[in-house]
Structure 1
Amino acid sequence: MGKKGKKLPSPCIDVCKFRREGHCIGCSMTKAQKKIFKALKKPEHQRAFIEMLAHQQSDLGKYSHWTEAYLKKCAKKGVTPPIAV
């Protein structure tokens, strides 16, 4: 779980190029998924979303760069990343 009071960062890694059938080449989210993540308030919902996203990346392929970038983002914010990452 994330440290108390610390929000889990967005899975976005600031690439934001939607070229793979509407999926970002950086994080695999669609524009609709980005809006959904922003609307999630409960940490357990955010973690479940990120776990789902990791599975989506695995299914789509070519997202091996994301895990390292997201782990760095979590470390910078002082938040424990989801276990599935």
Structure 2
Amino acid sequence: MAKTWAKAPSPCIDVCKFRDAGRCVGCAMTKPEKKSFKRLSKKSKKQAFFVMLEQRLAAMGKLGYWTRMYRRKCDRKDAPCPLDKLEKADRAA
């Protein structure tokens, strides 16, 4: 599981409807953020992106739904879910 961040699927959950101030109603990312995620290569930058996105989704009241759908996406892709790493970091802090 050392490659969790390197293999992290995009936070996009394939809803792709941009209504909320230019943010997707499913994942809360803007179109430029969706494109920029693909170019993130460093673990620290991907972690920071997920933390920012979780905070945004929580503020919008959509974190629970997104978390379920993102975990499902990771399972379908047979990829380690980076949310597990974030939860461990939260507990350690």
- Does the aligned pair in 2 maintain the 1:15–1:24 contact within 8 Å? yes
The structural deviation recorded for 1:41 is 1.1
The question of 1:14 aligning with 2:14 is answered yes
The structural deviation recorded for 1:51 is 1.4
Mapping for residues 1-85 of structure 1, pairs under 5 Å: 2-4=1-3, 7-76=7-76, 77-82=78-83, 83-84=86-87
Distance in 2 separating the partners of 1:80 and 1:14: 17
The structural deviation recorded for 1:78 is 2.5
Report how many aligned residue pairs link the two structures: 83
Distance verdict in 2 for CA 1:19–1:7, change over 3 Å: same
Gaps of 5+ in 2: 88-93
The structural deviation recorded for 1:38 is 1.4
What is the alpha-carbon root mean square deviation over aligned residues?
Answer: 2.0
Gaps of 5+ in 1: none
Structure 1 or 2: larger helix share?
2
Distance in 1 separating the partners of 2:80 and 2:62: 26
The structural deviation recorded for 1:63 is 4.3
With normalisation by structure 2, the TM-score equals 0.75
With normalisation by structure 1, the TM-score equals 0.81
List structure 1 segments (4+ residues) > 6 angstroms apart after TM superposition: none
